[in-house]
Amino acid sequence: MKDQLKKLLFQHAPVRGEFVELSETWHQIQLHHGYPLPVTRLLGEMIGAAVLLSANIKFDGSLIMQVQGSGPVRLLVVECDSSLKIRATAKLAEDAVIKENATFTDLINPNGTGRFVITLDPHDKVPGQRPYQGIVSLDGESISRIIENYMKQSEQLDTRIWLAADSLVIRGLLLQKMPPETGPDGLAEKNDEDDKAWEHLLALASTLKTEELLETDIETLQHRLFWEEDLFAFDPVHPAFSCSCSREKVGNMLKMLGKKEIDDALKEQGNLAIHCDFCGKTYSFDPVDCAQLFTDNSSSEPPGPSVH
């Protein structure tokens, strides 16, 4: 089945839901990497979370998640734009030893110094509109719990996320309680029936186990969990792998480093080979190419965070 994200609205509860299922996209992301299975699972869950959250971006832009760690996994980066184009990578410590049963804390945050950064980056640079960045404490023992805490604290939205990933598939479910209506005084009105409906749906979804998510397609999961619920399902949309790196962006990055630093690197290496961690593509610049960078007066956009 084609990779898909499927949105749901529950008719008799102020709750929206989303299912995500990725296999081909996930295969494309992994093509140029050979991560240990615990890292694969972690990166896969982070991709699932990014797609679920990106589905509701209200502008033309990207959601970028970065986890910076002090353990054997030093960096995880996932970028998903409003059209659900995805790319992702992980960086391990040079001396990384990954145990088969390593937990999120073991991989990322053994010393309690890791952090999670979420950035909303508009593509169209409207005057006065700047990227929004939130730094999230690693308060929780999984990607799901950390994002749930973030959504509650920063967006004031009750959100629950279930995620599972292995080397073959990523699947996830998001449930989110819609903001309550406000009364004449402008304050949110408490509704006990809405609270009961929310708790009921949480109870149904909380029966999901990791093995069930990995082994069951989302159509079956939807029926199994919510067959008694009156809901409206939107037509699915289809996420896909896409890397936005380009020779032009790499050239811009080199220009930002400055001519002296580039000249010094050329003396040491002869030619420069810049490798994209997301898609595996390598861009080569010889001394003539580099000289041209600093004689070309044309302006262009600075590079994104994709090339290292």
Residue 86 forms beta bridges with which residues? 80, 241
Amino acid at 15: V
CA 289 to chain CA mean position, Å = 34
Domains 4-241 and 247-293 share a fold: no
Q: What is the pTM of this model?
A: 0.88
Structure confidence at residue 302 (pLDDT): 38
For every one of its 308 residues, what pLDDT tens digit does the chain have, with 9 covering 90 and above? 689 999 999 998 999 999 999 999 999 999 988 899 999 999 999 999 999 999 888 778 899 999 998 899 999 999 999 999 999 999 999 888 899 899 999 999 888 888 899 998 887 766 666 778 888 878 778 999 999 988 888 878 899 999 999 999 999 999 999 887 655 555 556 678 888 999 999 999 999 999 999 999 999 999 999 999 999 999 999 999 999 889 999 998 898 888 889 998 988 888 899 989 999 899 999 999 989 988 865 444 433 433 33
Tell me how far apart the terminal alpha carbons of the chain are, to the nearest angstrom.
34
Phi, psi of 12 (to 5 degrees): -115, 25
Q: Is 242 exposed, middle or buried (0-12, 13-18, 19+ CB in 10 A)?
A: middle
**Cα dist. 85→25, 54, 99, 129 in Å?**
9, 10, 32, 22
d(CA 265, CA 29) in angstroms, rounded, equals 30
Structure confidence at residue 144 (pLDDT): 94
Taking the domains of the chain in order of start, what are their residue ranges? 4-241, 247-293
Give the tens place of pLDDT for each residue, 52-61: 999 888 778 8
CATH number of 4-241, picked from 3.40.50.9100, 2.60.40.1120, 1.10.150.530, 3.55.30.10: 3.55.30.10
Structure confidence at residue 181 (pLDDT): 64
Q: Which three-class secondary structure state does DSSP give residue 151?
A: helix
| Closest C-alpha among 13, 19, 26 to residue 168 | 26
Please, what CATH class does the domain formed by 247-293 belong to?
alpha beta
d(CA 182, CA 141) in angstroms, rounded, equals 35
DSSP letter for each residue of 83-112:
T-EEEEEEEE-TT----TT--HHHHH-TTS
Structure confidence at residue 1 (pLDDT): 61
- 144 in Cβ contact with 45 (< 8 Å): yes
Torsion of CA 143, 105, 69, 37, to 10 degrees: -70
